Amino acid sequence: MLTLGFDTSNYATSLAVYDTCSKEVVCAKKKFLPVKPGQLGLRQSDAVFHHTAALPALLEELAAEADLAAVEAVGVSARPRPAEGSYMPCFLTGVLAARAFCAGRGLPLVETTHQQGHIAAALLATGDASLFERPVLVFHISGGTTDLLLCQGADRVERIGTSSDLYAGQAVDRVGVRLGFAFPAGAKVSELAARCDEPVRPRSSVKGLTCSLSGLENQCLRLLEEGKSPEYVCRYCLLCVADTARKMVCRALEQHPGLPVVFAGGVMSSEVIQAWLGQRLPRAHFVPGQFSSDNAIGVAVLAGRVQNG
């Protein structure tokens, strides 16, 4: 069975077709929302406009590579997180498009959340199907979340750790924009960080399963004022995020020993973060950028899982 996923986040318009029989992604399309230089994101009204403008062309691109007439179920991320009161207008754009697609073809629609889509995409990318059926720790680190989650697949999600202030992706983007990079700046920050071969000793603030990232931007600005190179500052920024994640995961494993650990979210697509954490958490799962950054893959996967029971 083929399923179609829609995801309209505050970063990107995403579509994906998934084959539930082969367990493979047939096709995935994404377009980042345009942000003016120097700005740190979009107003929701602008995000809604750009999603509305992008969806028809993305569907046409998808139809050129996948047989949309063979789609039997549709999934859409209807809100950011599976929590009461979680809401952002940008997701309504995807819901309207998905409902229209389903109404025209008489297809079932599965509404899920952006975070659950991230979880499902990351679990799929590990190649271990059993992770959908048992408890697992998923750390969702992105521009809108720094959430350590106790999951039963992607169906039951309990947040056990988070940030008390700034999200990791926000911290990275603020540093990147300060350096003159376009928003979202994570890819460029990671690119520069990879060029730094100086030793870096990250400082992170974690109490129990709660972290604080509000001081990271100021730390990075001080390093620049002290004459450190942009490459060093970018590496310092990313390794502070990595060290934060390490501490939180280790403390979560003290409470939930033996559980698999999977990292999801756009920040975790950084090879610098993956390499540093991989040395310190060798049993953790790190997934490719296609599955970690904003995408509709997990949403399409969840549509298939619901329809297959």
- Per-residue pLDDT tens over the stretch 232-246: 999 999 999 999 999
Decide if 127 is inside a domain.
Answer: no
Is 111 in the same domain as 139?
A: no
Q: Are residues 113 and 160 in the same domain?
A: no
Residues 204, 275 within the same domain: yes
128 found inside a domain:
no
Q: What single-letter DSSP state applies at residue 70?
A: G
| Long-range pairs of 215-220 with CB within 8 A, sequence gap ≥ 24 | 216/166, 216/171, 216/175, 216/240, 216/241, 217/166, 217/171, 217/174, 217/175, 217/178, 220/175, 220/178
How high is the pLDDT of residue 308?
82
Which residue do the tokens 């120097």 mark?
A: 38
Q: Which residue in this structure is represented by tokens 């690119």?
A: 191
Local structure of 233: helix, strand or coil: helix
Task: Please give the C-alpha separations between residue 234 and each of 1, 162, 288, in angstroms, as whole numbers.
Answer: 44, 23, 21
What's the domain count of the chain?
A: 2
- pLDDT value of residue 289: 85
Task: State whether 109 and 143 are in the same domain.
Answer: no
- Say what angle helices 168-178 and 216-225 make with each other, to 10 degrees: 30
Taking residue 122's Cβ as centre, other Cβ atoms within 10 Å add up to 28
pLDDT of residue 38: 87
CATH of the domain at 302: 3.30.420.40
pLDDT for residue 67 = 96
Coil, strand or helix at 209: coil
Residue numbers of the domain that contains 157:
134-284
* Predicted local distance difference test score (pLDDT) of residue 261: 98
Query: Which tokens sit at 121?
Result: 């995409």
- Residue 153: inside a domain, yes or no? yes
- Please report, in tens digits, the pLDDT of each residue of the chain (309 residues total): 999 999 999 999 999 999 999 999 999 999 999 999 888 889 999 999 999 999 999 999 999 999 999 999 999 999 999 999 999 999 999 999 999 999 999 999 999 999 999 999 999 999 999 999 999 999 999 988 999 999 998 999 999 999 999 999 999 999 999 999 999 999 999 999 999 999 999 999 999 999 999 999 899 999 999 999 999 999 999 999 999 999 999 999 999 999 999 999 999 999 999 999 999 999 999 999 889 999 999 999 999 999 886
Residues 28 and 80 in one domain: yes
Whether residue 163 is found in the same domain as residue 297: no
pTM of the model: 0.95
Which residue intervals of 8-89 are DSSP H helices?
A: 44-65
User: What integer pLDDT is reported at residue 307 of this predicted model?
Assistant: 84
